[in-house]
């Protein structure tokens, strides 16, 4: 299947590892030119080297997506290198795990900056050119937690739900301009974030990390956690020409974990 992405410019945030890196790899395989960013310069450089070695044309920009000035700098670098951004994939490190009383006002504020404001700022920076070009894709990496809250993730459960509301509303505002806005909700996937959550839940429940993972697997109809490339494939599809009539959607890649009908 030709996704029609050859030569398109994709900006993928928090792409030095995990889901962000998997998405960058998938989009590069479909022929996209890449702009990637992340806070850790060493990990970002390693990701850039990996992508380039696989044949990707890639620009890497160190950035903290919770800072509007950094977001603007990443988008400016994309325009300087390639002249445009066709596909935006927003992403950020998940906010800290833990119950409500474990998080101060400052932690909540920082979580909003990294998880919600980063999406607002990236969208604001790329939309004018996308609308002018009559084509664009905005894809937000959110979480299954927005449809079925995950214990111990009160920050993510709350703030990613706000991202969903923003994206659903924005999708209607820009649909006539040829720009789609969608969310992809990863389920339990083998990433550093999931390893952290397993350790935290093990400490809280008094069990082991392996017991926690086994419990997750038992709750997933497919009986296993996802691999990052399985998630990235959905993002690439939503970025494609083939997905031109899909907008305002939140699509789970969770092996059937969410029990709701919608």
Domains and CATH numbers, the chain: 9-187+227-252 (3.40.50.720), 190-225 (no CATH)
Q: How far is residue 91's CA from residue 235's CA, in Å, rounded to a whole number?
A: 12
pLDDT in tens, 118-172: 999 999 999 999 999 999 999 999 999 999 998 888 999 999 999 999 999 999 9
C-alpha angle 184-237-2 in degrees, rounded to nearest 5: 175
pLDDT in tens, 65-77: 999 999 999 999 9
* pLDDT at site 204: 79
pTM strictly above 0.75: yes
pLDDT in tens, 14-63: 999 999 999 999 999 999 999 999 999 999 999 999 999 999 999 999 99
Q: What are 88's strand-pairing partners?
A: 11, 138
Closest by CA to 193, choosing from 121, 95, 80, 47, is 95
CB 65 within 8 A of CB 16: no
Q: How many CB atoms lie within 10 A of CB 222?
A: 12
Average pLDDT, stretch 230-239?
98
């Amino acid at each position: 299947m030709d996704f029609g992405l050859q030569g398109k410019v994709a900006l993928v945030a928090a792409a030095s590892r995990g889901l962000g890196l998997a998405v960058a790899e998938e989009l590069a395989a479909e022929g996209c030119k890449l702009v990637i960013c992340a806070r850790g310069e060493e990990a970002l450089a390693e990701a850039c080297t990996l992508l380039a070695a696989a044949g990707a044309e890639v620009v890497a920009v160190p950035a903290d997506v919770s800072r509007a000035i950094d977001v603007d700098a990443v988008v400016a670098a994309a325009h300087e290198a390639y002249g445009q951004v066709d596909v935006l994939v927003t992403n950020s490190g998940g906010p800290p795990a833990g119950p409500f009383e474990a998080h101060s006002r400052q932690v909540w504020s920082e979580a909003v900056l990294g998880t919600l404001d980063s999406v607002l700022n990236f969208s604001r920076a790329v939309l004018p050119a996308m609308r002018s070009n009559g084509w664009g894709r905005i894809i937000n990496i959110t979480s299954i937690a927005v449809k079925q809250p995950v214990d111990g993730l009160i920050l993510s459960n709350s703030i990613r739900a706000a991202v969903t509301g923003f994206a659903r509303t924005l999708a209607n505002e820009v649909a006539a301009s040829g720009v789609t806005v969608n969310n992809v909700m990863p389920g339990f996937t083998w990433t550093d974030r999931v390893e952290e959550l397993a350790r935290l839940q093990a400490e809280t429940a008094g069990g082991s990390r392996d017991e926690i993972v086994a419990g997750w697997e038992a709750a997933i109809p497919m009986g296993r956690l996802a691999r990052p490339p399985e998630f990235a494939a959905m993002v690439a599809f939503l970025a494609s020409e083939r997905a031109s009539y899909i907008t305002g959607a939140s699509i789970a890649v969770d092996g059937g974990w969410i029990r709701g009908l919608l």
